Amino acid sequence: MRILALGLLLMVIFGSCKNPVQKTQESGQVGREPKTVILLHGYSKGSRDMRTLADFLEASGYRTVKVDLPLTFDHVEDAAIVFAREMEEIFSGIPEDQTVAMVGHSTGGLVIRYYLAHFSQCERVGQAVLIATPNQGSTLAGMAGDISDLLVETFATLDSLRPEYVATLGLKDPEGTKIGAIAGNKSNLVLGQLLEAENDGRVEVDSVYYPGLDDFVVVPYNHHEIHHTRETAELVIRFIETGVFNE
């Protein structure tokens, strides 16, 4: 019981639990063929957590597709398989000569990178933006694994976030996709006090960055608010349109 209680507590490392595997679609402005932007939520969240960012994108003329994934009790690879099935359906409704953009918050960014590295339709993804994604792994998830093997075995997504696990995912970025990452450095969340390096209260800035990114930027927000701000939305839109965050 103590381990289960601890596991439930650690679910707040990245958010509250929400696990339905379903897809929600919204349309952007009418009058032209809008570019499609796929939005992925983070650990133990759901598509509603990407609603604010979707609103900003739709107001700028983009079509958004928010995808719910099993990111609490499943490993990142398993969630990516579910995502790949969703993408087959999404691509079937988009002309073959059009690319899409992908934006992932936290663990959603790892799902995007796994998809790009391991699934053949990656060439249809023109841009990807990773928001507060632990690309080098999560120190907090590593701490959870040190506390209890049963804990990370039960909350398998948490297991996927351990630095040593992330290193085994084979996250090789395709040459044809522009990839940018946005990190936060407002460490005012309780668990962030356990981290020594600059962080957003959940993920260190140094973990969001990795060599090979087309661009990288740090903004003054914590892990829970970073993807709900206008500044982040504007950075996402600029990257989709230009391949950089600041011209």
Q: 233: domain CATH number?
A: 3.40.50.1820
What integer pLDDT is reported at residue 169 of this predicted model?
A: 97
pLDDT of residue 151: 86
In a domain, 28, yes or no: no
Evaluate whether residue 125 is within a structural domain. Answer: yes
Residues 67-91 have pLDDT tens digits of 999 999 999 999 999 999 999 999 9
Q: Which two tokens stand for residue 238?
A: 């600029």
Other Cβ atoms less than 10 A from the Cβ of 59: the count is: 12
Q: Is residue 77 part of a domain?
A: yes
State how far the Cα of 184 lies from the Cα of 186, in Å rounded to an integer: 6
Residue 74 inside a domain? The answer is yes
Identify whether 20 is part of a domain: no
**Predicted local confidence at residue 73, as pLDDT:** 95
Say if 16 falls within a structural domain. no
Structural domain range at position 132 = 2-9+34-242
The tally of domains found in the chain comes to: 1
pLDDT on residue 10 = 52
Interatomic CA distance for residues 242 and 6, integer angstroms? 44
* 78: in domain: yes
The residues of the chain scoring below 70 in pLDDT are 1-32
Whether 92 maps to a domain, the answer reads yes
**DSSP per-residue string spanning 44-71:** T--GGGGHHHHHHHHHTT-EEEEE----
Helix 230-242, helix 51-59: angle, nearest 10: 50
